[in-house]
A = this chain, B = another copy of it.
């Protein structure tokens, strides 16, 4: 198997940026880019295209905004750094660059420049189920400017089937090439994930689209839900190195790469991921940046709610999970 039908997306900077307000050192970003080249990852999501009017640039690192110039600079530097010139020279058509744009939080008309002027290949439009008209507008704008586009529907564990089906039908008639299951709350048990993936799969097949999976690990199901998605035909799978991401984190890229490599997908390699973990992700943890599965995330996942209360609990270094559960059950 060469894995040509799969698209593995590294969301470390984007979802991980929600943990450290996007303050990544350039050195890490470059090492991550090279790691993605070596592991065979298909897309690297650099961060958000967030509105500078809504989100103060004094309070966020640059990957909250993903200016074209900042990405160009990383790519230029990587050419110098890359010990395997051959890989770097074949970058085009191999490792593509994505950014996320949230409905209602992005000045997309100004901040997303025509593709011809930008290093970005794909705009991933993130939306809730009740802001689909805004998503459609952004998808059409970005596609019109020459980008690949996906639509990532967040908080999908809250969706009612009837509404979801209607909205998927609308999205499937936009330029979006990929329709994403985004389990923001990490609340999907396998049977629930399976029902959603079936519905997505049906609509995607009807309109010639692809299905994607972006999982969170609140119930320790991020990797297994990602495997389930693959088994059910989803071609786009998100991961982050060391699971770095909001709250309980994401599907660990190293788990996914190890699996794919051992299953015989020639395109993917795990070993470069291990080096990156050892050299960079361990360092972030030593700096005191905290993410990953813990009981408080189980509790927000179980009750199918946004992890913000659990993130606050973690920040306050509380350990009274029984009391926490009573608090969040009442809300």
Do B220 and A295 touch across chains, with their CB atoms under 8 A apart?
Answer: no
Do A259 and B189 touch across chains, with their CB atoms under 8 A apart?
Answer: yes
Min CB gap A22→B, angstroms: 25
Do A274 and B258 touch across chains, with their CB atoms under 8 A apart?
Answer: no
Do A322 and B278 touch across chains, with their CB atoms under 8 A apart?
Answer: yes
Q: Mark A197-229, 1 if CB is under 8 A from B, else 0.
A: 000000000000000000001011111110110
A81 at the interface (CB under 8 A from B): no
Min CB gap A178→B, angstroms: 24
Do A221 and B224 touch across chains, with their CB atoms under 8 A apart?
Answer: yes
A190 at the interface (CB under 8 A from B): yes
User: In the complex the two chains form, what is the Cα distance from A271 to B220 in whole Å?
Assistant: 19
A6 at the interface (CB under 8 A from B): no
Interface centre among A242, A282, A319 (most CB of B within 10 A): A319
A277 at the interface (CB under 8 A from B): yes
User: In the complex the two chains form, what is the Cα distance from A220 to B275 in whole Å?
Assistant: 20
A252 at the interface (CB under 8 A from B): yes
User: In the complex the two chains form, what is the Cα distance from A231 to B275 in whole Å?
Assistant: 38
A321 at the interface (CB under 8 A from B): yes
Interface residues in A237-252 (C-beta closer than 8 Å to B): 242, 252
Do A295 and B319 touch across chains, with their CB atoms under 8 A apart?
Answer: no
User: In the complex the two chains form, what is the Cα distance from A321 to B255 in whole Å?
Assistant: 13
Do B255 and A298 touch across chains, with their CB atoms under 8 A apart?
Answer: yes
Do B319 and A278 touch across chains, with their CB atoms under 8 A apart?
Answer: yes
Chain B residues, Cβ within 8 Å of A217? 220
Interface centre among A224, A299, A302 (most CB of B within 10 A): A224
User: In the complex the two chains form, what is the Cα distance from A322 to B277 in whole Å?
Assistant: 9
Chain B residues, Cβ within 8 Å of A225? 224
- CB within 8 Å for A277 and B295 given contacts A224-B221, A227-B190: yes
Chain B residues, Cβ within 8 Å of A325? 271, 274
Chain B residues, Cβ within 8 Å of A277? 295, 321
User: In the complex the two chains form, what is the Cα distance from A220 to B219 in whole Å?
Assistant: 10
A73 at the interface (CB under 8 A from B): no
21 CB contacts below 8 A, A to B, read: A189-B227, A190-B224, A219-B255, A220-B223, A220-B224, A221-B223, A224-B224, A224-B225, A252-B298, A254-B298, A258-B298, A258-B299, A258-B302, A259-B302, A270-B302, A274-B295, A274-B322, A277-B295, A278-B319, A278-B321, A278-B322
Could you list which residues of chain A lie within 8 angstroms of chain B, going by C-beta atoms? 189-191, 217, 219-225, 227-228, 231, 242, 252, 254-255, 258-259, 262, 270-271, 274-275, 277-278, 282, 295, 298-299, 302, 319-322, 325
Given A274-B322, A274-B325, A277-B321, 7 more A-B residue pairs with CB atoms under 8 Å apart are A221-B224, A254-B295, A254-B298, A270-B302, A274-B321, A275-B322, A278-B321
- Top 7 nearest A-B pairs (CB, nearest first) are A224-B224, A274-B322, A274-B321, A258-B302, A220-B223, A275-B322, A278-B321
